[in-house]
Structure 1
Amino acid sequence: MSNTILVVEDDAGLREALIDTLEMSGIACVAAESAEQAMVLLKKYEFSLVVSDVQMGAMSGLDLLRSIKLNYPELPVLMMTAYATIDDAVEAMRLGAIDYMAKPFAPEVLLNMVSRYLPEKPKETDGPIVADPSSIQLLELASKVARSDASVMVLGPSGSGKEVLARYIHDKSSRCDAPFVAINCAAIPENMLEATLFGYEKGAFTGAIQACPGKFEQAQGGTILLDEITEMDLGLQAKLLRVLQEREVERLGARKTISLDVRVLATSNRDLKEAVAENQFREDLYYRLNVFPLMWRPLCERPGDIIVLAKHLIERHLAKSKEPLAKLDASAEQKLLSHAWPGNVRELDNVIQRALILRTGNIISEHAIFIENLMDTQCLPKPLDAPADQTQSQSSAYYDDKITPSEASAPLPSPDTGSYKDELKDKEHKIILETLARCQGKRKDVAQTLGISPRTLRYKLAQMRDLGISLPA
């Protein structure tokens, strides 16, 4: 359970709010309602950070902190106190807490503190796993652009591995020993994203008892990845443009600027020119970021990558569980190659994890390859150096904003488990699909009907695609 946060809070309402804020921002977390329960969880799982209240029941947060520093001395602990007393803060820091937050605090404070102290996510590979000629050609191109300091826009459908390619560019650059900081612009709520990116000064809002650097400052000397950049609010896009132009950032509530030495990479699963035409993305920001565009194609357009990726995923998952290596037989490989993979690498990863559960012995046969809504591949690989008009037509077809009623009424894959959470998700997906059909696939109308923002709808559709539900991106 690496890169997961343990949240310890005895107040049920606040505990739920903390978990919601973190999970909405794409941060994995586990809740404990007492220090005693936290100790049990610490023995069972591995955590990267503990966020704990000070004032709790029989065992206080300070008692928990003492126990953690005794048994898990390298585990960072961030404390919360409702009273903001000097005594609590001094005692927590003396016992080894990395920092503390005074209640009440704004969600921005929680996110910035957590992003500041949560260890960087370890690399799972030394780079993209490829074998298809078009992918090899793309990596050669990425290696060349890595040696420059140019901004790079990585385009491609959800789940195709855009962040992996961005990390590869950083690792091949002269900044490889400096920080690589990734932020998902679609995951963090709009009202928190500005403080997360740019940081804030003491007193900027409730609970900001001290200044906190944002993601740009954390990436100083290295690389920042703005994942799903097209999901950013237009007003914030204007502020981001200024940061990129001036090479300096101004924290919220500050009166001075901080010079930056940061390389900027960005990703998007949308057609950027179309987003500009629809006034959803600033044209000046588009030209600032799109200095060198790279297109990471859907998995079905690079079939040579499918089997090597599957083998890599098998090795990775078995290494984690310390099990002997398993191999795909010819029938399993053929079944993997016959599917169109609308969810791309994320969908392949899910299928491989199922196969490892369903396999017999150390051989994975086609019977262990369970693919929801098995879809015959109709994609043909296209050369990477396709003419501009050809690339544009392919891009427009893939990123079409319109969803046809027939696609919207397609059957949903059944959930992997019968849990209540999966059942709720299944119902949510059905409601979204039914509304898409009723609204003729017009996202703006769908969002208004469902009472959510277009940005939230796009995020939910992206999650559905990751589950293998056939939707245009």
Structure 2
Amino acid sequence: MDQDRPAEPGPARLRALLIGALDSAEHEALADSLHQRQVRVRSLASCADASAELLGEAGLVFVFVGARAGGQAQADVLPLLRLAGELDVVPIVAYAEQACAAALLEAGCVDYLLTPFSVAQLDALLHRQRAARAAQHTQVYRSPASRRLLAMAQRVAATQAPVLITGETGTGKELLARYIHRVGSGEQAPFVAVNCAAIPEQMLESLLFGHERGAFTGAVNAQPGKFELANGGTLLLDEVGELPLGLQAKLLRVLQEQRVERLGAQRDIRLNVRVIAATHRDLRAEAEAGRFRADLMFRLDVLALHIAPLRQRSEDILLLAHRFIERNAPGENPEQLLTSASRQALLAHDWPGNVRELENCLQRALILRNGLFIQPRDLGLDDSLLAPPEPSADAGHAALKASGKWAEYQHVIDTLRRFGGHKTKTAHSLGMTPRALRYRLSAMRAEGVAIQLAPSHSGGFA
């Protein structure tokens, strides 16, 4: 049994599934409250009724957990997390079961409601969800580690406490910082990023804190610093582990007092800035070695987010690859463009350069591909992973039938090239007669498909 509650048209509408006993007063009250807040609600009696199709239509899932034991609650909710993909799951728990809510958050739920919930609590949750949805296009996540990270980032965005983002080079630390900024402060608030490793020490202090005219030789005009420019928004201190010790003490003072004083100034400026620091270094180890101030580390590391390397979250690789293809070749269909062998090669690679390496790999492949699709050789990865076995006639026929129309055309072209334009051998490998192959090639040409061999074999075509 389920029910639909259509909502009036309005901005930023959400679609929500509400799962729990349909005849309960709490279920009815939440459904009515969501409807009043321009959320389209579909109610289900149990998690077992939530099909992948229904989950795909929703943007948010509320699950009444109530006072059930933590193990039973997780048994109900975890299958939803596996089915839901990028869907946000919000358990609704009793006050006495907040430990259960914490475990569900660790499992990948983005938020939770306590019953009986207040109007303010629900409004705050919906505000966070709408802000997160508006910023969602910047993030790609499917693996459990990525889901947990994004859920934590959404909760962190609701605070003004300093955030420390750690992870290997190329994992996307600045992208996560921008996501936190968009969710917490919105698109209109300023976002200022400073790469602490790329600026000479003698310039960095002036850049961060600003200076007055005449503060030093060459200071012909007063300049606001990055802290001032970020006022009302977010300042990202990228590669903060590279900051010189002298500047670390001054940064600590600014963070403690929420005030900044320009070089050469007689007054300070009050700040309202969210500070996000990012580094690929282990700041605790740096502090123990005397290269980073321990008091600054504790000030920055109030809320820590660690981005796992790409090799540890392989479920995200193809999703990211599709996103990069869409970004760099808007007219292409990523599902068609990547062959099965290319997808296997992407999944098999270790990605020491992480997401940045993956994006560069796809950009290069889009430029260098020789044909309709991206082949393993276009990716420029380890050759030992790219040589597919020679297909039998049965295997070739199966691959041909299993592919879509354009994948089928590319498969025919590749097979023809492998046999140097010899149509009889090509037809046998594809599981068809030479006459059928000639008809297939003629149909391909009629659809505008360019059928060419590599230059050294160009004489093989009639």
Structure 2 CA distance for partners of 1:188 and 1:125, relative to 1, 3 Å: farther
The superposition leaves residues 154-186 of structure 1 with CA deviations (integer Å, 9 ceiling, x where unpaired) of 000000001101111111104553101111101
1:280 alignment partner, SS class: coil
Q: Residue 377 of structure 2: which of 353, 358, 367 is its match? A: 367
Could you tell me which amino acid in structure 2 is paired with residue 273 of structure 1?
R
TM-score (norm 2): 0.52
1:347 alignment partner, SS class: helix
2:152 is matched with which residue?
A: 141
2:168 alignment partner, SS class: coil
1:243 alignment partner, SS class: helix
Q: Residue 364 of structure 2: which of 335, 354, 362 is its match? A: 354
Name the CA distance, whole Å, in 1 between partners of 2:218 and 2:241. 30
1:465 is matched with which residue?
A: none
Name the CA distance, whole Å, in 2 between partners of 1:339 and 1:312. 18
1:229 is matched with which residue?
A: 240
* 1:157 partnered with 2:168: yes
1:203 alignment partner, SS class: coil
| Deviation (angstroms), 1:279 | 0.7
Structure 2 CA distance for partners of 1:175 and 1:127, relative to 1, 3 Å: same
* 1:251 partnered with 2:262: yes
Compare 167-176 and 183-192 and name the one that shifted more.
167-176
Could you tell me whether the CA contact under 8 Å between 2:135 and 2:183 is conserved in 1? no
Name the CA distance, whole Å, in 2 between partners of 1:373 and 1:251. 55
Q: Residue 345 of structure 2: which of 328, 331, 335 is its match? A: 335
Could you tell me whether the CA contact under 8 Å between 1:175 and 1:223 is conserved in 2? no
The superposition leaves residues 253-308 of structure 1 with CA deviations (integer Å, 9 ceiling, x where unpaired) of 11211111101100010111100100111000011110010110111011111111
* 1:169 partnered with 2:156: no
1:301 is matched with which residue?
A: 312
Could you tell me whether the CA contact under 8 Å between 1:355 and 1:369 is conserved in 2? yes
Unaligned runs of 5+ in 1: 1-122, 377-473
* 1:280 partnered with 2:291: yes
* 1:213 partnered with 2:219: no
Structure 2 CA distance for partners of 1:374 and 1:300, relative to 1, 3 Å: farther
The share of aligned pairs that are identical, in percent, is: 52
The superposition leaves residues 219-258 of structure 1 with CA deviations (integer Å, 9 ceiling, x where unpaired) of 0100100001010000000000000011110111112111
Name the CA distance, whole Å, in 2 between partners of 1:184 and 1:156. 15
Name the CA distance, whole Å, in 2 between partners of 1:182 and 1:124. 18
TM-score (norm 1): 0.51
The superposition leaves residues 173-219 of structure 1 with CA deviations (integer Å, 9 ceiling, x where unpaired) of 04553101111101111111111101110012233222110100000
2:237 alignment partner, SS class: strand
| Deviation (angstroms), 1:148 | 1.1
Could you tell me which amino acid in structure 1 is paired with residue 243 of structure 2?
M
Name the CA distance, whole Å, in 1 between partners of 2:155 and 2:272. 21
Name the CA distance, whole Å, in 2 between partners of 1:286 and 1:276. 8
Name the CA distance, whole Å, in 2 between partners of 1:339 and 1:126. 25
Could you tell me which amino acid in structure 1 is paired with residue 350 of structure 2?
A
Name the CA distance, whole Å, in 1 between partners of 2:367 and 2:172. 24
Name the CA distance, whole Å, in 2 between partners of 1:172 and 1:130. 16
Structure 2 CA distance for partners of 1:258 and 1:190, relative to 1, 3 Å: same
Name the CA distance, whole Å, in 1 between partners of 2:299 and 2:234. 16
Name the CA distance, whole Å, in 2 between partners of 1:176 and 1:247. 23
| Deviation (angstroms), 1:362 | 3.2
2:274 is matched with which residue?
A: 263
Could you tell me whether the CA contact under 8 Å between 2:177 and 2:276 is conserved in 1? yes
Structure 2 CA distance for partners of 1:138 and 1:375, relative to 1, 3 Å: farther
Could you tell me whether the CA contact under 8 Å between 1:132 and 1:305 is conserved in 2? yes
Structure 2 CA distance for partners of 1:365 and 1:126, relative to 1, 3 Å: same
Could you tell me whether the CA contact under 8 Å between 2:135 and 2:182 is conserved in 1? no
2:92 is matched with which residue?
A: none
Structure 2 CA distance for partners of 1:210 and 1:182, relative to 1, 3 Å: same
Name the CA distance, whole Å, in 2 between partners of 1:354 and 1:147. 39
Structure 2 CA distance for partners of 1:374 and 1:214, relative to 1, 3 Å: farther
Structure 2 CA distance for partners of 1:348 and 1:214, relative to 1, 3 Å: same
Name the CA distance, whole Å, in 2 between partners of 1:373 and 1:204. 58
| Deviation (angstroms), 1:125 | 7.7
Structure 2 CA distance for partners of 1:315 and 1:248, relative to 1, 3 Å: same
Name the CA distance, whole Å, in 2 between partners of 1:124 and 1:177. 13
Q: Larger relative contact order (C-alpha < 8 A, sep ≥ 6)?
A: 1
Name the CA distance, whole Å, in 1 between partners of 2:205 and 2:385. 41
The superposition leaves residues 382-434 of structure 1 with CA deviations (integer Å, 9 ceiling, x where unpaired) of xxxxxxxxxxxxxxxxxxxxxxxxxxxxxxxxxxxxxxxxxxxxxxxxxxxxx
Could you tell me which amino acid in structure 1 is paired with residue 165 of structure 2?
V
Name the CA distance, whole Å, in 1 between partners of 2:136 and 2:201. 31
| Deviation (angstroms), 1:372 | 6.3
Q: Residue 312 of structure 1: which of 323, 329, 332 is its match? A: 323
Could you tell me which amino acid in structure 2 is paired with residue 226 of structure 1?
L
The superposition leaves residues 440-462 of structure 1 with CA deviations (integer Å, 9 ceiling, x where unpaired) of xxxxxxxxxxxxxxxxxxxxxxx
Could you tell me whether the CA contact under 8 Å between 1:339 and 1:374 is conserved in 2? no
